[in-house]
Amino acid sequence: MNGNRNDTSLNHRMLAMLRAVGAGRGRVSCSSEPDLFIDGLSCGDQFAAHALAHQGLVRAARPGLPGELVPAVLTAEGEAIVTARQQAAA
């Protein structure tokens, strides 16, 4: 995956989640099915949150205990997608 691919598997909600994480507003639970929180609130679409993690676009910034909330960060691939979308919109 890279920022130049056709990201048809990512909908507008998922892209908004990526932008929020990229802006430092996300936290993720330490779990095999990580839940995503934006601005302290649980994302309403945890299926999308799980997909972003399993696609390797979002990850925990540091290890944590099971269930602990830690800062979420974009992976290099997630950042490339956000950057490509911002450049395309400009």
Determine, yes or no, domain membership for 55: yes
Determine, yes or no, domain membership for 57: yes
Q: Please provide the average confidence, as pLDDT, over all residues in the chain.
A: 90
| This prediction's pTM | 0.87
Domain extent for 83: 12-89
pLDDT surpassing 50 at residue 4? no
More confident site: 3 or 44: 44
* Residue 90 banded pLDDT, cuts 50, 70, 90: confident
Determine, yes or no, domain membership for 52: yes
Q: What is the distance, to the nearest Å, from the Cα of residue 42 to the centroid of all Cα atoms in its chain?
A: 13
% of residues, the chain, pLDDT over 70: 91
For residue 10, the cross-strand partners are: none
CA 40/CA 47 separation, integer angstroms:
18
Return the pLDDT at 7. Answer: 55
Query: How many domains does the chain fold into?
Result: 1
Determine, yes or no, domain membership for 19: yes
DSSP characters over 4-32: TS--TT--HHHHHHHHHHHTT-EEEESSS
Determine, yes or no, domain membership for 2: no
